[in-house]
Copies of this chain bind each other. A is one copy, B any other.
Amino acid sequence: MEQQLIDWLVARLGGDPRLDVPNGDDAAVLRPPAGRRTVFCTDMLCEGVHFPRAPDYDPRAVGHKAIAVNLSDVAAMAGCPEAAVVSVSLPREGGQRIGEALLEGMLAIAERFEMPLVGGDTTSWDGPLAVNVAMLGSVAAGRVWRRDGCRVGDVVLVTGAVGGSLAGRHLAVEPRVDEARLIAEAFTVHGAIDISDGLALDLSRMMQASGCGAELDLAAVPIHADAVAASKRDPAGGTPLMRALGDGEDFELLISLAADDAERLLEAIAAGRLAGWPGTPLTAIGRVVAGHGLVAVAEDGRRSSLPPTGYQHAFT
| A86 at the binding interface (Cβ < 8 Å) | yes
Complex partner residue of A42 from B36, B87, B147, CB under 8 angstroms: B87
Interfacial chain B residues near A136, Cβ < 8 Å: 38, 40, 136
Q: Please measure, in the bound complex, the distance between the C-alpha atom of A236 and the C-alpha atom of B224, giving whole angstroms.
A: 63
| A263 at the binding interface (Cβ < 8 Å) | no
Residue contact B139 to A29, C-beta cutoff 8 Å? yes
Q: Please measure, in the bound complex, the distance between the C-alpha atom of A99 and the C-alpha atom of B77, giving whole angstroms.
A: 27
| A16 at the binding interface (Cβ < 8 Å) | no
Given contacts A27-B137, A29-B144, A146-B21, whether A125 and B49 have CB atoms under 8 Å apart is yes
Complex partner residue of A85 from B30, B40, B125, CB under 8 angstroms: B40
Residue contact A93 to B316, C-beta cutoff 8 Å? yes
Which B-chain residue is minimally distant from A209 (CB atoms)?
B24
Interfacial chain B residues near A42, Cβ < 8 Å: 85-87, 119-121, 132, 134
A4-25 near B? 1/0 per residue, CB < 8 Å = 0000000000000000111011
Most B CB atoms within 10 A — which of A26, A83, A313? A26
Residues 35-53 of A at the B interface (beta carbon under 8 Å): 36-44, 46-50
Residue contact A148 to B22, C-beta cutoff 8 Å? yes
Residue contact A41 to B28, C-beta cutoff 8 Å? yes
Given contacts A119-B42, A125-B128, whether A315 and B93 have CB atoms under 8 Å apart is yes
| A247 at the binding interface (Cβ < 8 Å) | no
| A249 at the binding interface (Cβ < 8 Å) | no
Interfacial chain B residues near A79, Cβ < 8 Å: 27
Complex partner residue of A38 from B30, B126, B209, CB under 8 angstroms: B30
Residue contact B315 to A92, C-beta cutoff 8 Å? yes
Interfacial chain B residues near A128, Cβ < 8 Å: 125, 127
| A231 at the binding interface (Cβ < 8 Å) | no
Which B-chain residue is minimally distant from A92 (CB atoms)?
B315
* 12 further contact pairs, Cβ within 8 A, besides A42-B86, A48-B125, A127-B128: A1-B313, A26-B193, A27-B73, A32-B32, A41-B119, A42-B119, A43-B87, A44-B89, A46-B127, A48-B126, A91-B315, A132-B134
